[in-house]
Amino acid sequence: MLDPALLRKDLDTVVRRLASRGVTFDVDAFNALESRRKGVQTETETLQAQRNALAKQIGALKSRGEDASLVMTESQAIPVRLKSLEQDLAEVQGQLNDLLLAIPNLPHESVPIGTSADDNVEVRRWVPQPDPATGDPKSLGFEPRDHVTLGESIGLDFDTAIKLSGARFSFMRGPVARLHRALAQFMLDLQTGAHGYTECYTPYIVNASTLLGTGQLPKFKNDMFWVTRGGDDQTLDAQGQPIPGEEQYLISTSEITLTSLVRDKIVAAAELPIRLTAHTPCFRSEAGSGGRDTRGLIRQHQFDKVEMVQIVAPETSYQTLEEMAGHAEKVLQLLGLPYRVMLLCTGDMGFGATKTYDLEVWLPAQNTWREISSVSNCETFQARRMQARWRDASGKPEYVHTLNGSGLAVGRALVGVLENYQQADGMIVVPEVLRPYMGGLTQLG
């Protein structure tokens, strides 16, 4: 959530920076609500001053033995009006809050302005054996098979998944299931052992307030799966109806649960930075994305991810962003998978991000780069929604900065391994770093 004080102080700058993201801020609605808020607060302050003055006048009259009944009658009307104003202020604040909850974060000054992925900027690439003409990885020397064809020979089964759950789910058994597990275990071991993250096991189902804090609600409800927990038929509401069950949501990323660890907390400076990681399934309905990547593992309703989250002091967050991008890159380097790092433009960033790097892995069968990780700095955007703070050197509570990134998306890493390590005969070489997790196997097929 944006800082309301920033909007009051420099609304024109906020409007301009949001426009660079393709977002139109409703200035008239904001100004109208601000005018109401100021009016209510001004009247409240006037009445409070009047109440204090009347109290002194009543005291003076009584001390002189004079009749204070008229003044007391006037004074007694003030608390009734103040109560009404308190309700009015709560209503206006709620409407302002709803307005701000729908507004994305402001882009950092270093983010390139653009409208789509076409305007993203390549920062660097890592290609062990580049084609001198293009800088892309060299050809495999044969017509590459895609990951679906390769995976089916070692236990990737989409037909069974469709029968069980419908489109955009996968069923794995045998070698491919083991390879998928090996990738996740390797990523966890790297992030905890080499990069200092604490491994966590988190719930896969959360309540609405948790999603509100990290920015998935209210904007992205239709992109999520949710369930309604059974209500209490014995407890009735004010209208005599049974109280319904609570609406709960399957997580779309463990960023949600890991970041929420500091919700409603004031963290001591000595506790920062907080580095957390978790391997979880993730669930996304992705409403409106029909027709995109319907074949294979690229865009699934259920997929696994090893997530990285850091909670840091504001002055270190952009250094931390660079470090976290490096932590994700290290996974790809050890797997020997060619990749490039893209700085996202204003029009392609996620809702809560102020700056984002995407890592894109090379897929030979598609002859292109595909996203495998996003690493973002959200500054205070999530912290303000969650009321997550820390005490600075002066002891004053300030909002922390939150960062998150994939380290990595396991299914997409599996796609990268299958396609980049395929052989002309259809066999798949197991990357050396994964062999200890595969019982020493060197190839599959």
Beta-bridged to residue 443, according to DSSP, are 429
Cα 232 to Cα 241: distance, rounded to the nearest angstrom: 10
Q: State mean pLDDT over 160-175.
A: 97
Largest Cα span, the chain: 109
CB atoms within 10 A of CB 433: 17
Crossing angle of helices 27-63 and 69-101, rounded to 10°: 160
Cα 128 to chain centroid, rounded: 32
Measured CA to CA in angstroms, residue 150 lies from 7, 180, 273, 338, 434 at distances of 53, 14, 42, 19, 18
What's the pLDDT band for 230 if we cut at 50, 70, 90? low
**Can you give the length of the chain in residues?**
445
Both structure tokens of 319: 């250094």
Contact assessment for residue 290 and residue 211, using Cβ atoms and an 8 Å cutoff:
no
Q: Which residues neighbour 82 within 8 Å (Cβ) at sequence distance 6 or greater? A: 44, 47, 48, 51
DSSP 411-426: HHHHHHHHHHSB-TTS
Question: Which pLDDT tens digit goes with each residue over 329-386?
Answer: 999 999 999 999 999 999 999 999 999 999 999 999 999 999 999 999 999 999 999 9
The pLDDT value given to residue 292? 61
Q: State mean pLDDT over 390-409.
A: 95
Q: State mean pLDDT over 28-48.
A: 95
Both structure tokens of 133: 């003409």
| DSSP strand pairing (205-207 vs 247-250) | antiparallel
Q: Which residues neighbour 245 within 8 Å (Cβ) at sequence distance 6 or greater? A: 228, 229, 230, 231
The pLDDT value given to residue 235? 64
Q: Which residues neighbour 139 within 8 Å (Cβ) at sequence distance 6 or greater? A: 131, 364
- Asked whether residue 240 carries a pLDDT value surpassing 80, the answer given is no
Cα 98 to chain centroid, rounded: 19
What strands lie across the sheet with 274-283, from one edge to the other? Answer: 121-126, 339-343, 355-363, 368-377, 401-409, 302-312, 274-283, 198-199
Contact assessment for residue 386 and residue 263, using Cβ atoms and an 8 Å cutoff:
yes
What's the pLDDT band for 242 if we cut at 50, 70, 90? low
Q: State mean pLDDT over 242-269.
A: 92
Residue 184 burial by CB count (10 A; 0-12/13-18/19+): exposed, middle or buried?
Answer: buried
The pLDDT value given to residue 228? 85
Question: Which pLDDT tens digit goes with each residue over 291-339?
Answer: 567 689 999 999 999 999 999 999 999 999 999 999 999 999 999 999 9
Tell me the domains of the chain and their CATH numbers: 26-101 (1.10.287.40), 117-444 (3.30.930.10)
| pLDDT > 90 in the chain, percent | 88
- Asked whether residue 392 carries a pLDDT value surpassing 90, the answer given is no
Cα 105 to Cα 99: distance, rounded to the nearest angstrom: 13
Q: State mean pLDDT over 105-129.
A: 97
The pLDDT value given to residue 229? 74
Measured CA to CA in angstroms, residue 440 lies from 179, 331, 342, 388, 435 at distances of 12, 20, 35, 45, 5
Measured CA to CA in angstroms, residue 52 lies from 69, 81, 127, 284, 426 at distances of 16, 15, 74, 57, 86
CB-side neighbour CA atoms (13 Å) of 326 = 8
Mean pLDDT, rounded, of the chain: 94
The pLDDT value given to residue 239? 75
Q: What is the CA radius of gyration of the chain?
A: 28
Comparing 245 with 435, the larger pLDDT belongs to 435
What's the pLDDT band for 69 if we cut at 50, 70, 90? confident
